[in-house]
Amino acid sequence: MNRFVTIVAAGLMISGTAHAQGVTEEMLANDAATPGDILTNGMGRDLQRYSPLDMLNKDNVANLVPAYAFSLGGEKQRGQETQPLIYDGVMYLTGSYSRMYAIDAITGKELWQYDARLPEGILPCCDVVNRGGAIWNDKIIFGTLDARLVALDLKTGDVVWRDEIADYKAGYSYTAAPIIVDGLVITGNSGGEFGIVGEVQARKADTGELVWTRPVIEGHMGTLNGEDSTMTGELNATWPGDMWKTGGGATWLGGSYDADTDTIVMGTGNPAPWNSHLRNAGTPVEGNTGDNLYAASRLGLDPATGEIKWHFQSTPREGWDYDGVNEVVAFTDPEGNKKFGTADRNGFFYVLNREDGSFVDAFPFVKDISWAEGIDDTGRPIFVEANRPGDPSEAADGNKGEIVFSSPSFLGGKNWQPMAHSPKTGLFYVPSNEWGMDIWNEPISYKKGAAYLGSGFTIKPNYEDHIGSLKAIDPVTGEWKWEFKNDAPLWGGVMATAGGLVFTGTPEGEFIAFDDETGEKLWSFQTGSGIVGQPVTWEADGEQYVTVISGWGGAVPLWGGEVAKKVNYLNQGGLLWTFKLPKQLAAAE
């Protein structure tokens, strides 16, 4: 049921008056440099998750205190992965089961709530999470678990427009925060475990009118203004037979935007099914590489037309569920070279050229990669074929291929949880996990709306003393400057600030501020439930605030095997915590 609470208008602004024109392209473009509001996922469309604020710093972070806690309420206490947005004194956050809340950013008072009224039969893969919205003009736009996109009035929460991304009955869903560029709202889709086809779509953010679509699996036709545009890739160049028709490649984690090259960068998920031998990927045949483009890739797209400018495939011939969706972050190295950084599920950190997406460098960011010996000079993995799950058709009973141990696990050296980059230190702060899996292949055939894996697996910790590992990594040398080890997997986002701080949370509920140069723990707060959300920081009336949501859930307790047993005592929750550095304590040490 939808529930709306009237806004008490006048006194709710952080400072000044409301922007009469609403949120504009110029405001989105400058989001990273305007710490009085947060208008985009990633605190800027380059996804650096870096704040120029330094009122809160290494010397005074010990004085950070709670300002308020806001409860998401009800029985819907599942994984809370949202990143809040802040505009004109109001904070907007999403909750599990496709809910949106507007609260007073200073006091935490609820202003309105929207519930998407989900139908029976939704098929979410990895918990009923939502990672946030996007603000445009006088609307906030977010996606729902039944694969719809909803635009709400910022002031009232009333529905302005609603549109279907895809058919939820076929396994599609949507959990990411959209991105807006030049008045177009850009979305992907979820559902890679159901034989869906990954696609990027662009709509007019004011009206919801569909402008273009770009499927990401070769052989599928894109559209522009309601007409066929161009085919993605070349039919059957890297896929056998009709496998491309249900080829996976879900674009389930939202994209970034590089203004310097006017390029949207989207990641694509695993090819379907997981059993790579069915896709010609186990032993490629003559005339077909078996790479299964453009799954497990990063794509550079023209935001006006959806045409593919470039692609980089991180895991060709993918057979371990190493999605390529992880965020692509624009940065500039110490010599002024403009690059992208991305930490892949497969355990390698890639550096790409920002002009054309071409390969620059790669290095491990986890310790025990077993599926590949390394990355060659072209960016292609050097496979360890003995560590590819076996072909069940070659097994004596034909039901189960050879079991292999692979590291990292299918949940990845890093999964969706966003890293941060500090231009001040030049480092990336990467939330990673040290785990592996026993994995095997099984026969499978496609059935609409049914799981389409063709694999079985059991996740195992690689070390007794930790799974989670927050690492500070130099993207030029690949050196790990420091590491923070955590008993449970890390599943929440990271933020860096000009005050020399790095923030993240743990499944055990601890919200922590680290020294960005040394990794020393400078401050922490127990939130009462596991943190799998994304922290932000902002300024109001001369005081710096930090906000994070707490609420354990996500994929780990659902898919984690032996790891899930390690964390099954953790309590679910649903509290948004906001902290502040009071003016009188800002100068105190």
Say if CB 160 and CB 141 are below 8 A apart.
no
81 is in an annotated binding site: yes
Cα dist from 227 to 230, 301, 302, 460, whole Å: 10, 18, 17, 48
How far the first Cα of the chain sits from its last, in Å, is: 49
Residue 192 sits at φ, ψ, to 5 deg, of: -60, -20
Cis omega before residue 294 (within 30°)? yes
Cα dist from 292 to 28, 71, 266, 268, 559, whole Å: 35, 44, 17, 12, 25
List 321, 323, 361, 516, catalytic entry: 321
Residue 540 sits at φ, ψ, to 5 deg, of: -150, 125
| Tokens coding 431 | 């939330």
Element (H, E) at 564: helix 562-567
38/458 Cα distance (integer angstroms): 40
478 exposed, middle or buried (CB, 10 Å; 0-12, 13-18, 19+)? Answer: middle
Task: Name the DSSP letter for residue 587.
Answer: T
Say if CB 417 and CB 490 are below 8 A apart.
yes
131 is in an annotated binding site: yes
**Computed from CA positions of residues 470, 472, 475, 477, in that sequence, does the dihedral angle turn out positive or negative?**
negative
Q: Secondary structure of 31-90 in the HEC alphabet?
A: HHHCCCCECCCCCCCCCCCEECCCCCCCCCHHHCEEEEEEECCCCCCCCCCCCCEEECCE
Which of 137, 223, 216, 130 has its CA nearest to residue 173?
A: 130
Q: How many CB atoms are located within 10 Å of the residue 66 CB?
A: 11
Q: Is 321 a catalytic residue?
A: yes
| Tokens coding 233 | 């890739």
Q: Which residues neighbour 585 within 8 Å (Cβ) at sequence distance 6 or greater?
A: 60, 63, 65
212 is in an annotated binding site: no
388/560 Cα distance (integer angstroms): 20
Which of 135, 111, 312, 84 has its CA nearest to residue 216?
A: 312
498/52 Cα distance (integer angstroms): 5
175 is in an annotated binding site: yes
321 is in an annotated binding site: yes
450 exposed, middle or buried (CB, 10 Å; 0-12, 13-18, 19+)? Answer: middle
| Tokens coding 146 | 């039944």
315 is in an annotated binding site: no
Element (H, E) at 293: none
User: Annotated binding site for pyrroloquinoline quinone: which residue ranges?
Assistant: 81, 131, 175, 415-416
Q: Which residues are catalytic?
A: 321
User: Annotated binding site for Ca(2+): which residue ranges?
Assistant: 193, 270, 321
User: Annotated binding site: which residue ranges?
Assistant: 81, 131, 175, 193, 270, 321, 415-416
